[in-house]
Structures are given as structure tokens and as C-alpha cells.
Amino acid sequence: MNQLEQLKQYTIVVADTGDFESMRAFAPRDATTNPSLILKAVQQDAYKPLLERTLRDHGQEPLDLVIDRLLVAFGLEILQIVPGRVSTEVDARLSFDVAATVAKAHELIALYEAANVSRERVLIKIAATWEGIKAAEILEREGIHCNLTLLFSLAQAMACAEAGVTLISPFVGRITDWYKKAENKTAYEPANDPGVQSVKSIYAAFKKLGYQTEVMGASFRNIGQIIELAGCDLLTISPQLLAELQQSDAPVPCKLNPEWAATQTVEDHILDESRFRWQLNEDAMATEKLAEGIRVFAADAVKLEKLIQQK
């Protein structure tokens, strides 16, 4: 078996792309999108018909609803390709507003359900701010499942687990990027990679303490990081790295499992708001990368709006 086939024995593979052909080529179970990926996709000829159809049918509606319809249109196409779930993201500009995030999630789920898609096949993707986590807690109680993204710290992860969030997406590569710059390094051995170590600590804590929240490693820079996390609940991987895995038949041993987690030393973090904010504040990397990620996704949401207005 190639490395991708081996990895799929231990881990659910998710496509980190808005490109339908890549999904067909690599046969992931789930797919995840974000504003940056959708913005990139709608500028390609292959996806212009999807944008044009959305504008033709709904172009007279308010801009924010047109954006929602476009995101859901991509989601509906993706769900015809993957057998599992699609993640659809709430506007990053709502990251500090509990009520607005809940309302937007309701709107997105309503559009999916109007298209006869069960909410079980949709994950609402929300930035892992305190407000985002509180919004997700409300949505999960309503049976709307959430994917908490832009996650860089154990404090964020534990708050999500306590809130009963379905899935979290710790960002391996962005953590590594920060430490490479801070420590003036060009590379890390996979086992010593700070992003890899962050996901391992979260996985160990969740399994040892009995939390049901799924861990999905994201934002990979190389296949070494991916292989070091073989056995993680899910891994969302770009088409380029999926292709690299498919082209190699080197062994992929299982590194993470509940038995391994049981041997690890973990701390239980029951976080109220003040402790959450303090622990996040004390983690310079997580604070900076969370803020940066929200700004980037918000900027791409604005670019997507401008592109649609021009049309």
C-alpha cells in the first residue's frame, strides 16, 4: 500500500481544498473549506458556473445571504463527492459575537436542510475564540455540529472539549511557522516539531480524560508532520501533500491511539472565561496566530464580497 492507503487504516483523511477534482482523486471521507479556499476556487474557470448560477438565482438578495448561498453551493457539490461531512465556515468577522455566530450557523444549516441535506453531514466551522466556543456550545445542544478552527493551544482545546464541541482543528503548520521564526530554525525533526507536539498533547488529554471531541490535525507543511500524527482521529490534508503520500510506499506506523494516550501525563483544564483568557494571553504563539488567522480569513471574506459585487 502507498502511504495514503496506510494512513487511512488508522486515521480519517479529510481533503483541505475547495477543488472538486482533487477530492475525487484522493477519495477522502470528509472535506473542509474556508474563505481563502473558496475565494481561490471561484476565480478558476472550472468553478465559474457555480458562482454564475448562484448570482443568477440569488443576485438580488442581500450580499451576506448571497455569500452564504455560495458557500452552501460549494458544500452541496462537495457532499456529492465525499461520503462524510463538509465544514462550512462562519464569517470570521463574527468571531467575537456569540449571538451573531449562532444566528449565522442557523442560516447556513437552514440552507442545507432546504436542499435536503441532513445537519449530520455538516460541520459549522467557527474560530476558537471564547465567544466562538460559547456559540458552539449553544449550537451543539441544538444538534448542530461544529468544527472549531484556528486552534493553537491546549487551553482552546480543553475549553472546546468542555463545551461538547464535535471536532477541533489544531493548526500544525502555523504553530511550526511561529516557532521557526522565534527560534531562528529552518526545520524540525517531525517528532520534535512544535506543531506535532501540540496535537499530540491535545489528543492525549482528550483520550485520557474521556472527552468525545474529535481531534483533526490541520495546516500541514510536510508529510513528516502527517506521518508523525498517524492515528489521530482525523487529518485534513492539502492535495499537494495527499499526492506526495500517494506516491510513496514507505511504512506509516500508527503513532497515536488511546493506549498510547493512557501512558501520557496530562493536566485537566476546567476553564472559566478569565482563566481561558489568561492562559491564551500567556501563550504568545497562540495569541498571535489566532488573531492573525482571523484577520486573514476576514480579509479574504471581504475580497470574496468585492468579487461578487463586481459580478
Instruction: Work out the number of other CB atoms within 10 angstroms of the CB of residue 89.
Output: 24
pLDDT tens for 169-186 read 999 999 999 999 999 999
Q: What is the mean pLDDT of the chain?
A: 95
Number of domains in the chain: 1
pLDDT per residue over 254-271, tens digit each? 999 999 999 999 877 778
Task: Find the CATH number of the domain harbouring 17.
Answer: 3.20.20.70
Q: What is the pLDDT of residue 269?
A: 73
Q: In the chain, pLDDT over 70 holds for what percent of residues?
A: 100
Sorting pLDDT into bands at 50, 70 and 90, what band is 32?
Answer: confident
Range of the domain at 14: 3-310
Catalytic residue among 40, 48, 104, 125: 125
Residue scoring higher pLDDT (250 or 310): 250
Q: What is the mean pLDDT of residues 7-30?
A: 93
Confidence of residue 40 (pLDDT cuts 50, 70, 90): confident
Q: Is 200 a catalytic residue?
A: no
